[in-house]
Amino acid sequence: MDSILVKGGGALNGQIPIAGAKNACLALMPATLLSEEPLTLTNAPRLSDIRTMTELLQSLGAEVTSMQDGKVIAMSCHGEINTRAEYDIVRKMRASNLVLGPLLAREGHAEVSLPGGCAIGARPMDIHTDGLAKMGAEIDLRDGYLYAKAAGGKLKGAVIDFPFASVGATENILMAATLAKGTTVINNAAREPEIVDLADCLRAMGAQIEGDGTSSITIQGVDSLHGATHQVVTDRIELGTYMLAPAFCGGEVELLGGRIDLLEAFCEKLDAAGIEVSETDKGLKVARRNGRISAVDVTTEPFPGFPTDLQAQMMALLCTAEGTSVLEEKIFENRFMHAPELIRMGARIDVHGGTATVHGVEKLKGAPVMATDLRASISLILAGLAAKGETTVSRVYHLDRGYEHVVAKLRGVGADIERISTK
């Protein structure tokens, strides 16, 4: 099992290219199931989750070809469709559930295993299935599979009021509604940039969608969708992660392709902590102001609030802040599993339920630590870059699901980091 060895102490300077968004690409890929014509995605990230979605779509009958070193994904779903998404594939990744809506919309029925992914909370499917039921789907859970069938063979438009702004449910219903009969309105819809990106792609395929980026989305169903080519939006989580690197270590790093509008709430916290963010003609430039960073309080919220997927990285940074910070996690339970590992590095953190209190220390110390999930993996690597001595992060297979070429990107700006393969 591979591990990452990090030696801390050096400032970081240079440029880091930011990939296309994993969470956007994983929603865009199932959209190929909605059309018999080709869908091509450019600026795709090169990640194990993308390979898993490729495997899933191929098992359903789609043709999927990776080109230009994985940055372009060409898909076509013109043949016979298999409507059963098997457990052996779906269990690897939460986003696998995003084939449910498209399969129901195109074929009128689907059998989809309950999904897997990082162990950061229950994240139930109820909100997905309740929305589809309002569109006329009959859904039964048996033996770990969702058996779904559209009454009369076709979904119907409906007004769907989500109890909370679920990104995955918004994406599933949005795709399903494009081919439904009549008009669908999603109230309390998620507003994330990945939702807007999916809507842009679906519109390029001929869908009629209004209101994406707001809390109410209206979709007028059409008879069919055609092919399209679409560029995947910049990964705001990878962007935010690498924006923190010079905040940990000092120096100045330019994030190629970065945009402040993707992370406004995050950038506000960086400014309050003493980190300078400026726009360039190529992206964003980040540098720490003089001295230690200042403590700030953070509450995770749906977009446009502070992203839950940057909470672990921010906690690691605040471990060395001057003062005491309070982080409140409101999106997922069980998402402070990185705290005990940071404590092994000398951090002072008290966790009570969904709240973590971080008392800043002057310096972290290198230590052997274990990654518990995707975002915890990168937070421990960043902490290691700023720590005194060596840090070994084990169980980094999580990392490959969400960050491409981490070692190369950080080495490119001067980090002393290497991946160690063990047999």
Annotated binding-site members for UDP-N-acetyl-alpha-D-glucosamine: 94, 309, 331
Whether the bond between 163 and the residue before it is cis, its omega within 30 degrees of 0, is no
Distances (CA, A) of 362 to 264, 323, 407: 28, 10, 26
Spatial CA neighbour of 172 closest among 140, 204, 205, 194: 194
The pair of structure tokens assigned to 110 is 């689907």
Neighbours of 8 (CB within 10 A): 24
The pair of structure tokens assigned to 298 is 């953070």
Distances (CA, A) of 73 to 32, 65, 412: 11, 6, 26
Residue 202 near residue 178 (C-beta atoms within 8 A): yes
Give the catalytic positions in this structure.
118
Known binding positions for phosphoenolpyruvate: 22-23
CA–CA distance, 225 with 176 (Å, rounded to integer): 12
Cα dihedral angle (369, 402, 50, 70), rounded to 10 degrees?
-110
Longest CA–CA span in the chain (Å) reads 66
Residue 101 near residue 173 (C-beta atoms within 8 A): yes
CA–CA distance, 224 with 22 (Å, rounded to integer): 27
Residues paired with residue 141 on neighbouring β-strands, in sequence order: 146
